[in-house]
Amino acid sequence: MVLEVKDLCKQYTRGDRPFYAVDHVSLTMDKGEFVSIIGRSGSGKSTLLNLIAGLLDPTAGEIRICGKSLTGMDDAALSAMRNTALGYVPQGQTVLGNLTVLDNVRLPFYFGDRTGPSSDRARDLLEQVGIGHLAGSLPRELSGGELRRVSIARAMMCSHDLLVLDEPTGDLDPRTTEEIMALLRGIAQSGTAVLMVTHELDTTGYGDRVLEMDSGKLSPRL
């Protein structure tokens, strides 16, 4: 199992009222599965992904990635896990403007304890996401869809097990959205587990399974 989430909770307090942003969520994902989570704004989607990515501490529950539990890991171990076990494409634009496309993709490689060449792998990934010809370009020369492809390639630089994306098409037009979805389907077919969230309720949902988040609770979409 690539991802195992069990009874996961994140409690916040607003005013003096505690509430669950993530409320006893359980989810498992196999190699090559493509799962999408839909839900309205504020339903807890980003909080769930941030927990899975080890960026937030859960109030309760457990997360295992490729069999390794995140519970009880110290900061150094969590950073190492983030850099090797999963690729995360956060909400919004995160490509660095002063680095070329190729260097943006190579970046995570240097955060880990790695030596040796990274550019061959980065070039392969850029080919895989369909923008090999843009390796030497600067982000300001790219379209929104192309920039999203850079983020996806960068997220896959150090891990092919699990790719987690937060609203990867929120700011893209319908045709570009279709292209990015086709790309994600291809990535899943090559064996990477893909977990995507979106607030676009009107889409029928992409992926092998569509789940819905509502007030922190996750359930299969009816």
Which residues of this protein are in contact with ligand ATP, per CB under 6 A? 12, 14, 21, 39, 41-47, 199
Phi/psi at 137 (5° precision): -80, 160
Which of 43, 118 has the CB closer to ligand ATP?
A: 43
Three-state DSSP state, 102: helix
Please choose, from the candidates 149, 163, 166, the residue with its C-alpha nearest in 3D space to the C-alpha of residue 34. Answer: 163
The entry of Mg ion, ligand ATP, none near residue 47 (CB within 5 to 8 angstroms by kind) is: ligand ATP
Q: Does 169 bind Mg ion (CB under 5 A)?
A: no
CB of 30 to ligand ATP, least distance (A): 25
Window of 40-48, 101-109, 141-149, 151-159 that interacts with Mg ion by CB under 5 A? 40-48
Q: What is residue 71's DSSP assignment? A: T
Stretch that binds Mg ion, among 42-50, 71-79, 92-100, 124-132 (CB under 5 A): 42-50
Q: Does residue number 36 form part of the binding site for Mg ion (CB under 5 A)?
A: no
167 contacts 199 by C-beta, under 8 angstroms = yes
51 vs 36: CA distance, rounded Å: 17
Number of helices (H), then strands (E), belonging to the chain: the values are 6, 10
Q: Is 46 in the site for Mg ion (CB under 5 A)?
A: yes
Task: Give the residues lining the site for Mg ion (CB under 5 A).
Answer: 46
